Structure 1
Amino acid sequence: MFRILFIVPYDAIQLEVEQAVNLYKPKGMSIDLTNVIGVEDTEKLNIGIYDLIIARGITYATIKQMDPNKPIIEIGVTGFELIRAISEAKSLYNPKKIAVVGWKDMIHAVKELGNLCDMEILCQSVESDQEAKMVTGELKKQGVEVIVGGLMACNAADANGLPCVFIKTVKETIEKSVVEAINTARAIIEQQDKANLFKTIMDYSTEAIISVDKTGHITTMNKMAYRILNLPYQMELIGKSIQDVMPHSKLSEVIVSGKSEMNKVIKYQGTLLNTNIVPLEVKGDVKGAIKMFQKVTKIQEVESEIRKAIHKKGLVAKYTFDNIIGESSTVKKAIGAALKYSSVSSNILLIGETGTGKELFAQGIHQASNRKEGPFVAINCAALPENLLETELFGYVEGAFTGALKGGKVGFFELAHGGTVFLDEINEVSLSLQAKLLRVLEEKEIRRVGDDRVIPIDVRIITATNANLGEKVERGEFRRDLLYRLNVLNIKIPPLREREDDILALAEYYINKFNLKFEKHIEGIEEDARQAFMEYRWPGNIRELKNICERLVVLSEYSMITYEDFIAQVSFESEMLDIIKREPVKGKHYVQREPILNIDKLESYTILEALEKAGHNKSIAAKMLGISRSTLWRKLKEIEDND
């Protein structure tokens, strides 16, 4: 509650003051009334409990002297009130000489009224009861016949045997004083609210903040600054020189130069601090400076929290090179190259057919690099249309297009700052988007869709392709300069048919994995089925092998995977069961079958059959085959060229 004290000048207007206060009834404020006479009574008032005071004359002057910072509204004496009092003095006493005695603001410019009233008017300012009595006595000796003034002047006149006319305050002046007090109170409350808000923001800031004026004296200092500087919070430092509190702060230099100093690391009492200093300018004139700083360890803690948040979003690499199953020389060669490339920051291009595990290699490279604590963001460029891919990669600002989210959206490149971006099937990116990717690689900055502001980023880019980018360059489908940027380092990921030594190890791994997932008990793979696994060409590579193993575990009714189980999963029709030529296992009584199709024709037939079953919906057909849509397009073109 904001408390106001109205010091009523004299008893006669008590009722008018009460009426004025009741008329306005300010919300959130209380107005108390009191009467005081003279300086001594005023000094006895407990003005400390009030936020604002209304007073007149000497009472006003006394309070102003007692507490210069206390907000106080003066009940002014208007010219009309003075003229009326002087006119009353002439009417009652018809004097030749009168004196107006009181507070200097009450008697200002009174002398000129004497000519109008045909009498001499003296003016005498006083500041205390004692002075008023002494001055009044002197005036009497000078021939003054009547005193005009307030209560203090009238008391002094009475003590010296002189008549006195009291300057009365009219109703309008009282109301004006009340309104002015209420408006002032509202302004003070608003200012206090702003100050409290500012103080709260300052005190709860994770950064230490110190501001100084043009002379280098402290004007603001928050709790965090006290804490980092190891100073007791009770110590009053406002007004102190910054050099006495934090020597070599560089604040004075920034005030002189008018230029900011950002992201400087300094050592203070054995602690590393990251500091930012900016000048405070008003209409081009430097009025001071602000220094913001925090412990480097605190920044590291914040980064740790950010990493946790990124982990919750799934923007992390889950696999390392240890998760790559295989002992074949081809895969070991690829892993060896990837390990070497992990230690440098150059861009890497992964080349391999669909399903060979290119993302697994990308994650392994990230995990083995010095960026392993940062985000890992993987994007399949073939899975999104061009306009959506652009907004996902670069983000957008609010209002960039119809349907844009309020506040805009952060793109994957920004999310991956300090980490790695993996762009799979880079061969599917349009030429216009290729130009924007080239800018990212060259300038290390991005621009959100609909924005003209550039944002610097620090990411490592790993790309992957299942197509021959050299051929696409020759056909004008891929930018040569972008290929040079992407293909600084490259790794060829071998297809599964070139990793014969790894096929059965992978099959057993996935069978065991799906055993656990589906609570099945498949013990292994029969010998002729193992041979079938080895002889199949695996056009979908590891992804196809994984899918087939999942189906085998789900559908098998026996403890071992049989040849017939395997053939059923790699064929679309019953007449295709003999796709693999094999010798029967000794002791087994299988009917010897001859292959009805060679492997190349089988692949074409399988693709065309899948397309027909999918109603010529290429997305569905690709899903049925366990390959990407872009791979399906390429294989259909190969079939067309071979016909």
Structure 2
Amino acid sequence: MFIAPYKKMGELFSEICQEINKKIIIKIGDLEEGVRQAVELEKQGVIDVIISRGGTAIAIKKEILDIPVVEVQVSAFDLIRALHQARKETNKVAIVGFYPFTYGIKGLEEIMNLNIKILTLKENWYIRPFYIKEKLKEIEKQGYNWVVGDNISVETAESLGMNTVLVESGKEALMQSILEAERVAEVRKRELEKTKRIKSIIDFAYEGIITVDPKGVIDTFNPRAVKIFEREAYRIVGKNINEIFPEFSFPKIIKIGRKIEGKIWTVGDIKIVANIIPIKINNEIVRTVITFQKVSQVQKIEQKIREKLYLRGNIAENTFNDIVGQSNIIRKLKKEAKNYAQVDSPILIYGETGTGKELFAQAIHNYSPRKNKPFVAFNCAALPETLLESELFGYVRGAFTGAKKEGKVGLFEQAHEGTIFLDEIGEISKNIQARLLRVLQEHKVRRLGDDRVIPVNVRVITSTNKKLIKLVKEKKFRDDLYYRINVLNLIIPPLRERKEDTSLLVNFFIKKYGYK
């Protein structure tokens, strides 16, 4: 859009647009009228850039902040043409206009053989023309009766009876303003696209995002932050973060002046884990970005990742319906096991080899609240102590010779939120017993070669075909571990003690394996 301060400029601009085949809205209006036209079209949303000149351009810039204004620059050719016209009548000329119109003109005195007086108008004078009148009166008293200037200067001078020459913009200046407006429009388009992309990222981010200016005033509070803290953005934005979230200790964050990761805060009854990123320009913090999630949400995500990575193959396939038997002892055991399934206490299952200890462990898991979580079964007698330790607890890169470069997740981590079944628990060494006891006590594991502990939430079921109490008395099994794993227990009888189930089992296996 082009707003011409006077009609002749508008006509010339229209002529140029036809020559270069450009469709640009053209309006005629000086100062307040020009501003009114610009505001009206801004409301309609049909303009990207405004082109205007002199005081009208200045007035529009002050009123319209969201649309760039390209000012038609007065070229040397335009000014020389106006001075040449005035020189025909006088050698004493006052050049009047807004900055930068009047900048660098004094050097033309010698070239044009003129006595030039320069009057630079202040920006706010376009709404106070009486100031311009007063200044022109002063100039007139000094013997300057001819005024060369822009539209407002010329109109004001003429109202005082002074002689005037309007500096008219030629084709060169107008063409240059069109090229500049196109460049500005393209830059603005890219910036708007960038802003929209950033806004979309902020608005649809999975994390809460707060941005804070150097004074501690919150200027961004995205929808996720609204959801986490259950506070509307309009009540937060514009307020000081120390007032809204004193728990953040923002002055300390600014003082640290560097990125902080994994910071845990409690705001009311909400626990969040946050990253704080200071944005610096020339080593000065211009913004601080805080991204955060609820701790509970992080835990849920972690669990989903664990399930996706490790649940495959870690599934309990059997239920209590798969335990064949109608004898009183089996019915009693199944009833007892179902009751055990509803609590998280460790279970020790005793039975001879082949009595179905893992079958009961799987059935308990599938009857428990953890049924949709991993079931990890492991035979403790299957590996030597060195390998058993790394299998159960995992290891980090470089923990020992032959370790995988990426390290390994232990079985306890794989069973997080689910059940771990340790068969033949009586076979583990005292060293492994000590580590296992610590996991049961603290609900945390430490990978081999690591100095960090990882929280785990695991239901532990163990089994053995040995008399553990005897091993305790012989000092081969720790008594504290024995009492930890033997909170609840099941003793599964061999088939010889429940012979009435034999025929049921025979029929079951015939159907299973297809014998006739």
TM-score bracket for this pair, using the shorter chain length: 0.5 to 0.7
What is the distance in 2 between the residues matched to 1:294 and 1:237?
19
Structure-1 residue corresponding to 2:55: 58
Over 3 Å counting, the alpha-carbon distance change for 1:133 and 1:165 in structure 2 is same
Task: Map Cα deviations across residues 292-317 of structure 1 (whole Å, 9 max, x no partner).
Answer: 67798x99999999999999998568
Contact kept? 1:39, 1:59, Cα under 8 Å: yes
1:254 and 2:249 equivalent? yes
- Match of residue 33 from structure 1: 25
Shift of 1:255: 0.8
| Counterpart among 182, 195, 205 of residue 191 in structure 1 | 195
CA distance in 1, matches of 2:148, 2:452: 73
Does structure 2 conserve the Cα–Cα contact (< 8 Å) formed by 1:278 and 1:290?
A: yes
Distance (Å, rounded) in 1 between the aligned partners of 2:223 and 2:235:
12
Deviation at 1:125, TM superposition (A): 1.3
Matched AA of 1:377: F
> In 2 relative to 1, CA 266–158 (structure 1 residues): closer, same or farther, beyond 3 Å?
closer
1:329–1:33 Cα change, 3 Å: closer
Hey, what does 1:238 align to over in structure 2? 237
Counterpart for residue 164 of structure 2:
163
Q: Offset at 1:193? A: 3.0
Query: Does residue 1:357 correspond to 2:356, yes or no?
Result: yes
Structure 1 SS opposite 2:268: strand
The one-letter code of the counterpart of 1:102 is G
Structure 2 CA distance, aligned partners of 1:373 and 1:254?
A: 43
Give per-residue Cα distances to partners, 1:177-220, cap 9 Å, x unaligned: 3213322332123213322442243xxx5x77655545554323
Q: Report how far residue 457 of structure 1 moved.
A: 2.9
- 2:60·2:69 contact (CA, 8 Å) conserved in 1? no
Question: What is the deviation of 1:327?
Answer: 5.2
Provide the TM-score with structure 1 as the length reference: 0.54
Matches within 5 A, 1:280-319: 280-283=277-280, 290=290, 315=315, 319=319
Do 2:17 and 2:24's aligned partners in 1 also have CA atoms closer than 8 Å? no
In the alignment, what sits opposite 2:401?
none
Identity %: 25
Within-5 A mapping of 1:327-366? 354-363=353-362, 366=365
Which residue number corresponds to residue 122 of structure 1?
A: 118
State the aligned residue count.
469
How far apart are the structure 2 equivalents of 1:51 and 1:219? 26
The structure-2 alpha-carbon separation of the partners of 1:445 and 1:307, relative to structure 1 and needing over 3 Å to count, comes to: closer
Equivalent residue of 1:70, what SS? coil
Q: Runs of 5+ in structure 1 lacking a partner?
A: 23-30, 268-272, 398-403, 470-479, 512-545, 557-643
In structure 1, give the amino acid aligned to 2:27: N
Structure 2 CA distance, aligned partners of 1:147 and 1:481? 109
* Superposition RMSD in Å: 6.0
Alpha-carbon distance between aligned partners in 2 of 1:38 and 1:148, rounded to the nearest angstrom: 17
Cα separation, 2, equivalents of 1:313 and 1:146: 96
In structure 2, the residue matched to 1:459 is 458
1:447 is displaced (CA, Å) by 6.4
CA contact (8 A) 2:214 2:287 kept: yes
CA distance 1:352–1:116, shift in 2 (3 Å): farther
Runs of 5+ consecutive residues of structure 2 not aligned to the other structure:
254-259, 398-403, 469-475
The aligned residue for residue 257 of structure 2 is none
Aligned to 2:238, the other structure's residue is in SS state coil
One-letter amino acid of the counterpart of residue 75, structure 1: E
1:375 aligns with 373
CA distance in 2, matches of 1:19, 1:377: 79
In structure 2, give the amino acid aligned to 1:256.
Answer: P
Confirm whether residue 44 of structure 1 aligns to residue 44 of structure 2: no
In structure 2, what is the Cα distance between the partners aligned to 1:322 and 1:555? Answer: 19
Alignment partner of 1:178 is 2:182: yes
**2:400 paired residue number:** none
**Change beyond 3 A, Cα 1:555–1:303:** same
1:500 is aligned to: 496
Distance in structure 2 (CA, Å) of the matches to 1:265 and 1:507 = 64
Partner of 2:266: 264
Normalising by structure 2, we get a TM-score of 0.65
Question: 2 CA distance for matches of 1:385 and 1:172?
Answer: 83
2:189 aligned counterpart, secondary structure: helix
- Aligned partner of 2:87 in structure 1 is 93
Pair member with larger Rg:
1
Partner AA of 2:376 in structure 1: A
- Asked whether 1:107 is paired with 2:138, we answer no
